[in-house]
Amino acid sequence: MKLEIEGVHYHIEILNEDKEQALVFLHGFTGSSETWQNMMPYFADYKLVLIDLIGHGETDSPADPERFSMELQLRDLEHLFERLGLRDFALAGYSMGGRAALAYACTYPERLSVLILESSSPGLKTELQRNERRDSDLLLAEQILSGGIASFVGSWEKIPLFKTQETLPETVKAAVRRERLAQKPVGLANSLIGMGTGSQASYWETIRQLEFPVLLVTGELDLKFTAIAEEMAALMPDAEHKQIVAGHALHVEKPDEFATMVREYLKKKF
C-alpha cells in the first residue's frame, strides 16, 4: 500500500492484519521492505508492518536533501503510525533503520512497548566526529550521483563491514545485490546527506531515559557495533545485549538464530 505523508508517498507492506500485537521493521541503508522477507515466516503470529524509508525501495526520493533529515523522517513515521492506528507496538530496526528506530523511540517513547535494535547506534558523540562523517557521506553521495548505482553497489558490497557475507550462498548474495541495485541514485545520495550518521543528532544521553525493554543484537565478528551495543546496554534502564557469531547483517547471515532470539525476547517482554 501507499500512504502520502507531507508530499512523500511511502510504500508499506502489512501482513497478518488480523493479529493483535504489531511488529514494525525498518531496513538499513540500500535496503527496503524486501530486506525482511526471509523473516516473515518466523513472525506469523504478529501483525507485521514493513516500511520503505524515504529514498529507498518504492518510497519517493525527493530532490531536496533537507526533506531527508532524521527529524522529518521521525515525524513521517509518527504520522504513518498514527494513520495505521499503531500504539504499544514493537519496533525493530537494522543499521540505519536501527538509528531511525532508536531516534523515534527517544522522540515518541509513549508509542512503543518494545525496541529491537540490530547492529545500531545512537549516533556520534561529538560535533567533530559528526563533521568528519558528514564530509565523508557527502563525498560518497557525490560518487553515487556521478557513477550510478551499479558502480556504487560494486564498491559498497566490498567494504569491510560486509566481508562476512562473502561466504553466504550465492542465492542469498544475489538477493541482497538485487535489492541494492533497485535503489535510486538520488534517494541513496540524499539519504546519506540528510539522515546519515554525521547529520543526525546524538541520542547517547536520551537513551538513559528509555524505560521500556530494549534488545540489542550484534554479530561477534562486528567488533565496532558490538562495542557500541555494550556501551548502550550499560546506560539504558532495561536493555539486554545478545550476540550471534556473524557480522553486521545478522538477519541475512544467521536468519534462524536472529529470528529465534527476537521471538524469545518478544515472548518475555511484549
User: How many of the other CB atoms lie within 10 Å of CB of 94?
Assistant: 29
Q: What is the CATH number of the domain that holds 106?
A: 3.40.50.1820
Please state, in angstroms and rounded to a whole number, the distance separating the CA atoms of residues 21 and 23. 7
Question: Is the whole-model pTM more than 0.85?
Answer: yes
Number of structural domains, the chain?
Answer: 1
Give residues with Cβ within 8 angstroms of 147, minimum separation 6: none
What DSSP character marks residue 130?
H
Residue 28 in grid coordinates: 538499513
Per-residue model confidence (pLDDT) at position 44: 96
Which residue segment(s) compose the domain that 25 sits in?
Answer: 2-269
User: How many of the other CB atoms lie within 10 Å of CB of 155?
Assistant: 12
Give residues with Cβ within 8 angstroms of 42, minimum separation 6: 255, 259, 260, 262, 263
Please state, in angstroms and rounded to a whole number, the distance separating the CA atoms of residues 189 and 193. 6
Q: At what angle do helices 149-156 and 170-181 cross, to 10 degrees?
A: 140
Each residue's pLDDT tens digit, 10-54: 999 999 999 999 999 999 999 999 999 999 999 999 999 999 999
Per-residue model confidence (pLDDT) at position 163: 93
Asked if residues 44 and 16 have their Cβ atoms less than 8 Å apart, the reply is yes
Average pLDDT, the chain: 97
Each residue's pLDDT tens digit, 189-213: 999 999 999 999 999 999 999 999 9
Q: Which of 193, 251, 194 is nearest to 218 (CA)?
A: 251
Give residues with Cβ within 8 angstroms of 89, minimum separation 6: 21, 22, 23, 24, 49, 81, 111, 112, 113
Each residue's pLDDT tens digit, 164-193: 999 999 999 999 999 999 999 999 999 999
pLDDT band at 95 (very low <50, low <70, confident <90, very high): very high
